[in-house]
Amino acid sequence: MSHPQQFPHGGASLAYRFVRGTGPLLVFLPGYMSDMTGGKATAVADWARAQGRASLRLDYSGCGASTGDFLDGSIGRWTDDALALIDHVWPDGDVLLVGSSMGGWVALLAGQRLNKRLAGLVGIAAAPDFTIWGLTIGEVDRHHLEVDGFFTRPSDYGASYRYSRALIDDAPDHLLMDGLIRITAPVRLLHGQRDDAVPWRLALDIAARVTGDDVQVRLIKDGDHRLSRDSDIKALIGMIEDLV
């Protein structure tokens, strides 16, 4: 496969793959310490290509094929990365966001800022505010934050997760679950009830906070956090088809 395209932004070079086609632009936003080569990202891009639809995959700064230090990354910065790339490749048209796990948090933030350009949003095990409900930061962790700039947690999905001081300090400015999520475009939320990383009831909480009425939640009883089985991908693509 050819090398991804590059776009300078915020002191980094952001890697992305943009395929021209009809709108709305379909944008996949990866999860934490993930990138645009994941199974769900490529499945969405393959579907878009087969349908002749415009699509964008991307790596946040410090992730995947993008340059920059991962430890400088944060929810705010990665949201800005996504919006900068959207405006670069698709400056005026409507946008449909698909966010996985942390990418769901980014999608909800970006969706609010896109405002009337947002054609729809799909969250896959969306994890807004995970730094609050998903991380217990003890004294040892705080010591590592001060000395090393990050602390680690084991991961079931590969290398240990690193949580940086930049991420922890920035997150409170971007919390969503303490108020309304001002999105009126259609929202679809897909979540597995055997998800051991993000509680599935969070999907119901998100739905309650979105200000628009066209919000649907689909729970997959035997689905885990990855939601990457063929049947899960089929459910995801069905949601996207519903919105476009």
Arithmetic mean of pLDDT, 143-149: 94
Beta carbons of 46 and 142 less than 8 angstroms apart = no
Arithmetic mean of pLDDT, 181-194: 98
DSSP per-residue letters across 171-214: GGGG--TTS-B---S-EEEEEETT-SSS-THHHHHHHHHBSSS-
Nearest to 108 by CA among 93, 97, 94: 97
Which residue, chain included where needed, has tokens 């909800």? 108
Output the pLDDT for position 160: 86
Angular region, 62: left φ>0, alpha ψ -120 to 50, beta rest: left
101 is a catalytic site residue = yes
Mean pLDDT for the chain overall: 96
Band of the pLDDT at 126, cuts 50, 70, 90? very high
Band of the pLDDT at 142, cuts 50, 70, 90? very high
Q: What is the C-alpha radius of gyration for the chain, rounded to an integer number of angstroms?
A: 17
Arithmetic mean of pLDDT, 26-32: 97
The beta-strand segments (E) located in the chain are 5-9, 12-19, 22-29, 53-58, 95-100, 118-124, 150-153, 161-164, 187-192, 215-220
Output the pLDDT for position 154: 87
Record the tokens describing residue 98, joined without a space. Answer: 């698909």
Arithmetic mean of pLDDT, 63-86: 97
Output the pLDDT for position 155: 80
- Which one from 34, 144, 225, 232 is the annotated catalytic residue? 225
Total count of residues recorded for the chain: 244
What residue segments make up the domains of the chain, in order of their start?
Answer: 5-243
The pLDDT tens digits of the residues spanning 36-58 come to 999 999 999 999 999 999 999 99
Q: What is the CATH number of domain 5-243?
A: 3.40.50.1820
Output the pLDDT for position 20: 97
Give the phi and the psi of residue 119 in degrees, each rounded to 5: -85, -20
144 is a catalytic site residue = no
- Which one from 101, 129, 144, 232 is the annotated catalytic residue? 101
Would you give the DSSP letter of residue 226? S
225 is a catalytic site residue = yes
Arithmetic mean of pLDDT, 61-80: 97
The one-letter amino acid code at 160 reads: S
Nearest to 18 by CA among 39, 43, 35, 36: 36
